[in-house]
Chain A
């Protein structure tokens, strides 16, 4: 599991570079740690730690207006915080690229995660966000590249959801 996790993080980081994404905004999640560490170590990327995820939707709009590209990385719980903010890129038909690590799926040890986990795709779809759900490590980078092209090429809101089976479930041990 660890080797697979490392692979998708490196590949997504490469795509961030290829796509000239220079701002990465995040409320972190365990599964995003390696990718975010690579972004933090890159002096050409501004890594912005957010107080709440919807700030990242605004940052992505501001970046686009300024001629740059941004990515918002978050845990599935944070998608619910973004709902009203998603009206911004939808109304302006500007790119909004998101990478979401899922909770409340396969192997989830915390039942409190199930409601928002189930809600991610319906909520996103209701706000006009295209969802690409990766169930293997290879799919993460494949879908991320598609998402970049759709977001930046067509001015769309697109989320790549990384299934819990890719990341592994958080252990709740005493």
Chain B
């Protein structure tokens, strides 16, 4: 880890953001992010992922194009984001106004044992998004600026990306359903009525 004493608790960050989600559609990357979304804000309008690391953000793009009247929030980690980092270029060019991305950056591969990740070496994900052409980006360390986060990722004209430096999970994981077809059908029925 970075040695930063201001690392935020990931579930507290998510609770603060998702407390203001209203009708937002939320996509969460596999692993700890998936479990945290289920713990904090379970809803049929959540896309829970159990596989396909690296394409969480493109799922959000496909959804944002299909549902231009709804806010789409993608919650991911630094590892998943970097695996699909080229998708930031794809999104910047498409420029979906209804898409926000929240990267919970723990600087490691927590799900597989906490091995050091690339952001621990200084890789700046928000900087990459900004250079790609995102409408706005931010990186948060510590409580001070957290109040602005919900509005930034849920309301500001997209595409926007926020990186929040977080610590390791402090609570036990809780798991959403592992029934893939059910997860997909439930979401689609709720959102598209099909």
Contacts and interface: CB of A to CB of B under 8 A. Distances in A.
A51 B90 contact: yes
Interface residues of B, number: 39
Interface in B62-108: 62-67, 84, 86-87, 89-90, 93-94
A98 B181 CA distance: 20
A122 B50 CA distance: 25
Given A52-B86, A93-B181, A62 B192 contact: no
Interface string B34-63: 000000000000010111111111111111
Interface string A87-107: 110011110000000000000
B12 interface: no
B94 A65 contact: no
B52 A58 contact: yes
Contact of B94 (A46, A54, A56, A57): A46
B90 A68 contact: no
Nearest to A55: B58
Given A49-B90, A68-B66, A87-B52, A62 B61 contact: yes
B63 A51 contact: no
A67 interface: yes
Interface of B: 25, 27, 47, 49-67, 84, 86-87, 89-90, 93-94, 180-181, 183-184, 187-188, 191-194
Contact of A65 (B52, B55, B191): B191
Contacts of B61: 48, 55, 58-59, 62
Top-8 shortest CB links A-B:
A67-B192, A62-B62, A66-B66, A51-B86, A58-B58, A58-B55, A59-B62, A68-B66
A120 B183 CA distance: 30
A70 B63 CA distance: 11
A30 to B, nearest CB: 21
A64 interface: yes
A13 B63 CA distance: 23
A50 B90 CA distance: 5
Interface residues of A, number: 34
Contact of B62 (A52, A61, A92): A61
Contacts of B86: 50-52, 55
Contacts of A62: 27, 47, 58-66
B66 A67 contact: yes
A140 interface: no
Given A59-B61, A66-B67, A84 B53 contact: yes
Contacts of A63: 62-63, 65-66
Given A59-B58, A88-B59, 20 more contacts: A23-B62, A51-B87, A52-B86, A58-B59, A58-B61, A58-B87, A59-B61, A60-B62, A62-B27, A62-B59, A63-B66, A65-B191, A66-B25, A66-B67, A66-B191, A66-B192, A68-B62, A85-B54, A92-B183, A155-B181
A74 B57 CA distance: 20
Contact of B65 (A68, A84, A91, A94): A68
